[in-house]
Amino acid sequence: MTAPPFRRGRPYPDGDLVMTAAPRPPSRVVVVGASAAGLAAVEGLRRLGYAGSLTLVGDEPHLPYDRPPLSKQLLSGEWDTDRLRMRTPEVLEGLDLDLRLGEPAAALDTAAREVVLAGGERLPYDALVVATGLTPRRIPGAEGVTGAYVLRTVEDALALRDHLGRKPRMVVAGAGFVGAEAAAVAVAAGADVTLVSAAPVPLADVLGDEIGTMLAGVHREHGVRMETGALVTAVTSADGAATGVRLSDGREIAADAVVMGVGAVPAIGWLAGSGLSLGDGVECDATLYAGSGVWAAGDVACWLAPRTGRPTRVEHRTHAAESGLAVARNILAGPGAGQPFDPVPFVWSDQYDLRIQIYGRTRGADEVRVVERGAGPRELVALYRSGDRVCGVVGVNRPRQTRGYRALVAQGADWHEAVGTQDAAPVAG
């Protein structure tokens, strides 16, 4: 069976079904989401020799910019916005893109293979990359209230930075990495900061009790108040301005700035009714293929991770770039001929003078073992166990050394062999 030519308005039988014929190379690729993952996909395609039409659609009006500094150097004022820019206009020009900025994709018609923009224009594609990232969760009561912030865009970060200049009384709801980083920057800027965490020990689900406890100690040392074991259930306000938060145990904390660091959900609303399988993100096979000529990359992609065999979504900066590149490769190979995407996840977080780095998956690990210490009390490397395998490594202020353990994670090394020569060492507070 040979593949029929692509034709507008007529569905092309899914590539997955046309296993015997070499897939016809795509000549129209559309990428929705003009950030880390989308940019990696378009750069990857050009680098691999794709010469067809390439459209990059983004709802933000900006050229692609980087998010990790939003809760770090941009928030603190150390950097200005031009340092966030991912590529110069000249480099982007060289990619020969049809760049549609400030234009949200509103719908996807998989039968016609067209993306529908909010303005009504329809963009036909042979291959589509969904790289729309996440939308931050908001807390009830925050809608339309000044002084209630999320932290996802450059506008979000600048608005909060502006408020930090007035040294507010601030509550950070949620002690994940973004919330904890915001708390660290805010307290250094002279704000009065309370960090509210649902877990008894912040980040314990990711880092384990010991390192989580150490981190909480560092926050306290810098003057952050910690409220643990409570959820923020509402933002309270008067006359449209935040006055504080209400907690699940009924208590209220007064504040004129509230940061909602309570996670984010995949930005898939525009895909409703497309026929794609949507759950916790765009559901893909191991090659990041979602069917109907659609691929997904970055924070929004939920793919069958070969390493675990489980549907997985990763919200990390390097994952965005790596998955975008993988999608580029697999688009050119064609559906059914792509390579499984099997990365070792990596993420970092900067809080005060601590640089935390994680390779692999540490959430819900069965055991944590410190295997290396540096000169200072807060320099260490710890391995994480899942079953009888190494599943992750966390380093605190030991970047180069931590990388040395990555291979154990990549191989899923035997736990006892990996730690056999190491003695358990308690974590210094």
Partner 1 sequence: MRVTVDQDKCVGSGQCVLAAERVFDQRDEDGIVVLLDAEPSADQHDDVRQAALVCPALAIELAE
Ligand X SMILES: Cc1cc2nc3c(=O)[nH]c(=O)nc-3n(C[C@H](O)[C@H](O)[C@H](O)COP(=O)(O)OP(=O)(O)OC[C@H]3O[C@@H](n4cnc5c(N)ncnc54)[C@H](O)[C@@H]3O)c2cc1C
Selected binder of ligand X within 31, 35, 44, 278 (CB under 6 A): 35
**Quick one: what does residue 212 bind among ligand X, partner 1, none, with the CB cut-off 5 to 8 Å set by partner type?**
none
325 makes contact with partner 1 (CB under 8 A): yes
Q: Which stretch binds partner 1 (CB under 8 A): 23-31, 136-144, 381-389, 391-399?
A: 391-399
Q: How far is the CB of 103 from ligand X (least distance, A)?
A: 7
Q: Which own/partner pairs from 344-348 qualify as long-range (CB within 8 Å, at least 24 positions apart)?
A: 344/406, 344/409, 344/410, 345/314, 345/316, 345/318, 345/319, 346/316, 346/318, 346/319, 346/406, 347/177, 347/316, 347/317, 347/318
The answer for residues whose C-beta is within 8 angstroms of residue 294's C-beta and 6 or more apart is 108, 110, 127, 128, 129, 130, 276, 282
Question: Tokens 């410190």 — which residue?
Answer: 370
170 makes contact with ligand X (CB under 6 A): no
Q: Write out the binding residues for ligand X, residues 327-366 only, by CB under 6 A.
A: 347-349
Q: Which stretch binds ligand X (CB under 6 A): 297-305, 334-342, 369-377, 379-387?
A: 297-305
Which tokens sit at 277? 């399988």
Q: Which is nearer to ligand X, 70 or 245 (CB)?
A: 70
Q: Is the Cβ–Cβ distance between 122 and 116 less than 8 Å?
A: yes
Question: Which of 28, 72, 4, 16 minimizes the C-alpha distance to 350?
Answer: 72
Q: How far is the CB of 349 from ligand X (least distance, A)?
A: 5
Q: How is residue 63 annotated by DSSP? A: S
Residues 2, 24: Cα–Cα separation, whole Å: 10
Number of residues that bind partner 1 (CB under 8 A): 25
Instruction: Find the length of the chain.
Output: 429
Selected binder of partner 1 within 62, 138, 355, 389 (CB under 8 A): 355
Question: Strand, helix or coil at 218?
Answer: helix
322 makes contact with partner 1 (CB under 8 A): yes
What torsion do the CA atoms of 35, 36, 38, 44 make, to the nearest 10 degrees?
140
Selected binder of partner 1 within 181, 315, 350, 372 (CB under 8 A): 350
**Quick one: what does residue 386 bind among partner 1, ligand X, none, with the CB cut-off 5 to 8 Å set by partner type?**
none
Q: Which stretch binds partner 1 (CB under 8 A): 3-11, 224-232, 285-293, 402-410?
A: 402-410
**Quick one: what does residue 355 bind among ligand X, partner 1, none, with the CB cut-off 5 to 8 Å set by partner type?**
partner 1
Interface residues toward ligand X, by CB under 6 A: 32-38, 57-60, 67-68, 70-71, 104-105, 131-134, 151-152, 178, 267, 270, 298-300, 315-317, 320, 347-349
